[in-house]
Structure 1
Amino acid sequence: MKRHNDQSIKEVLQQLVEHYRWKGRLHQSRIRELWADRMGTTINQYTREIKIIRRKLYITIDASALKQELHYGRDKIREMVNEELGEDFIEEVVVR
């Protein structure tokens, strides 16, 4: 039997992600893993929540001194995350 719609599994999965708008959720999961690996255990312990809303990365921190420090490094965080994702997905980082 000859197939007319030969697509790789990767292409089919990408179409599903785009169709059902799962990209943000997948990126959010990858960012959580990245955050724990790159930022270390201390910063990860003070991180209460990481979420993406409309291409903005919201990071909720419990310690005010750490919050201020991360606020100054927002551009570096955005660059690090976008580099890991392989695209310019995150437009802004909000530390609260």
Structure 2
Amino acid sequence: MSNHNTKSLGEAIREFITAMKWDEKINETSIIGDWEKIVGRIVQMHTTKIKLKDGQLTIQVDSSALRHELHMRKQQLIKRINDFYHASIVSDIVLR
């Protein structure tokens, strides 16, 4: 007799992470770790803080000129991040 409720280990882990509400923290940690690959060295050097909450990515930068440039390219940056992870992780960006 087979059990129709069997899941792969990966599925079970994903469900556990979601149930524990760790998925957004894991996504935030991934974005921080991959930030230079996503935005390049110069932007990474001027980024002082990154926070993800409810799909909103808050980015703190130490340059007003860079903050303005990122604001003008906000939709491109959202797309770049989501394309990088092949998932809709970020829905909005706040720059500080």
Q: Does the TM-score normalized on the shorter chain lie above 0.5?
A: yes
Calculate percent identity across the aligned residue pairs. 23
Aligned to 1:24: 24
What is the Cα deviation at residue 35 of structure 1? 1.6
- 5+ residue gaps in structure 2? none
Aligned to 1:42: 42
* Cα distance in 2 between the residues matched to 1:21 and 1:79: 24
* Cα distance in 2 between the residues matched to 1:6 and 1:86: 27
Aligned to 1:9: 9
What is the Cα deviation at residue 29 of structure 1? 1.4
- The one-letter code sitting in structure 2 at the alignment partner of 1:51 is K
Aligned to 1:68: 68
Please give the root-mean-square deviation of Cα atoms over the aligned residues, in Å: 1.6
Count residues with an aligned counterpart.
Answer: 95
* Cα distance in 1 between the residues matched to 2:89 and 2:43: 23
What is the Cα deviation at residue 6 of structure 1? 2.6
8 Å CA contact retained: 2:48, 2:62: yes
SS of aligned partner of 1:50: strand
What is the Cα deviation at residue 3 of structure 1? 6.7
8 Å CA contact retained: 2:38, 2:81: no
Aligned to 1:54: 54
Aligned to 1:88: 88
SS of aligned partner of 1:51: strand
SS of aligned partner of 1:52: strand
8 Å CA contact retained: 1:46, 1:62: yes
TM-score (norm 1): 0.87
